[in-house]
Chains A and B, each alone.
Chain A
Amino acid sequence: MSTLDIRGLHAEVAGKEILRGVDLTVSSGEVHAVMGPNGAGKSTLSAVIMGKPGYKVTAGSVTLDGRDVLALSTWERAVAGLHLVMQYPTEVPGVQVADVLSEALASRGRDTSDMGALIAREAARINFDEDLVRRAVNVDLSGGEKKRNETMQLAVLKPKIAILDELDSGLDIDALRDCARRVEDATTEDGLGALVITHYVRLLEELKPDHVHILAKGRIVKSGGPELADVLERDGYAAFAPVEA
Chain B
Amino acid sequence: MTPTPVLPSAEEEIWRYSRIGELDLSSYAVGSLRTETIGVDALQGDDRSGLVMVDDADVFARLNRESTSTPVTIVIPRGQVVGDVVEIVHHVDQSGIVAYPRLVIDAGENSEVTVVEKFVSADGIASLVCPVVEVRAAQAARVTYVAINALGRDTWKIAHQQSLGMRDSTTRLFTIALGGDYARVQTTSTLAEQGANSQQVALYFADGSQMNDFRTTQVHAAPRTHSDLLFKGAVRDDARSVYTGLIHIKENAKGSEAFQTNRNLTLSEGAWAESVPNLNIETNDVKCSHASTVGPIDEDQRFYLESRGIQPSIAERLVVLGFFNEVIDRLPSAAGVSDLRDAVSRKLLGNGAK
Binding site for B on A (CB under 8 A): 50, 52-53, 73-75, 78-79, 83-84, 86, 89-95, 99-101, 103-104, 107-108, 136-137, 153, 157
If the complex has contacts A52-B303, A100-B318, A103-B314, are A93 and B309 also in contact, measured as CB distance less than 8 A? Answer: no
CB of B334 within 8 A of chain A? no
If the complex has contacts A73-B312, A100-B318, A103-B314, are A92 and B301 also in contact, measured as CB distance less than 8 A? Answer: yes
- Are A86 and B311 in contact, with the CB atoms below 8 A? no
Main secondary structure of the interface of A (DSSP, over half): mixed
**Considering only CB atoms, which chain B residue lies closest to A85 in the complex?**
B307
Within 8 Å by CB of A50, from B307, B319, B322, lies B307
If the complex has contacts A52-B303, A53-B299, A90-B300, are A136 and B309 also in contact, measured as CB distance less than 8 A? Answer: no
Question: Can you give 6 A-B contacts (C-beta < 8 A)?
Answer: A75-B308, A78-B307, A90-B300, A93-B323, A93-B326, A95-B325
Q: Which residues 52-72 of B have a CB within 8 angstroms of A?
A: none
- Are B308 and A157 in contact, with the CB atoms below 8 A? yes
- Are A74 and B325 in contact, with the CB atoms below 8 A? no
- Are A95 and B306 in contact, with the CB atoms below 8 A? no
If the complex has contacts A53-B299, A100-B318, are A90 and B310 also in contact, measured as CB distance less than 8 A? Answer: no
Interface residues contributed by chain B, number (CB under 8 Å): 23
Q: Residues of B contacting A86 with CB < 8 Å?
A: 304, 307
- Return the CB mask of B312-342 against A: 1 if under 8 Å, else 0: 1011001101111110000000000000000
- How many A-B pairs have beta carbons closer than 8 Å: the answer is 81
- Are B319 and A73 in contact, with the CB atoms below 8 A? no
Q: Residues of B contacting A50 with CB < 8 Å?
A: 307
Q: Max chain B CB contacts within 10 Å: which of A78, A90, A95, A101?
A: A95
- Are A78 and B306 in contact, with the CB atoms below 8 A? yes
CB of B25 within 8 A of chain A? no
- Are A100 and B310 in contact, with the CB atoms below 8 A? yes
- Are A107 and B309 in contact, with the CB atoms below 8 A? yes
Q: Residues of B contacting A79 with CB < 8 Å?
A: 309
- CB proximity of B154 to chain A, nearest CB, Å: 32
| A136 CA to B304 CA, complexed, in Å | 13
- Are B301 and A90 in contact, with the CB atoms below 8 A? yes
If the complex has contacts A53-B299, A103-B318, A107-B311, are A75 and B306 also in contact, measured as CB distance less than 8 A? Answer: yes
If the complex has contacts A52-B303, A93-B325, are A99 and B318 also in contact, measured as CB distance less than 8 A? Answer: yes
CB of B305 within 8 A of chain A? yes
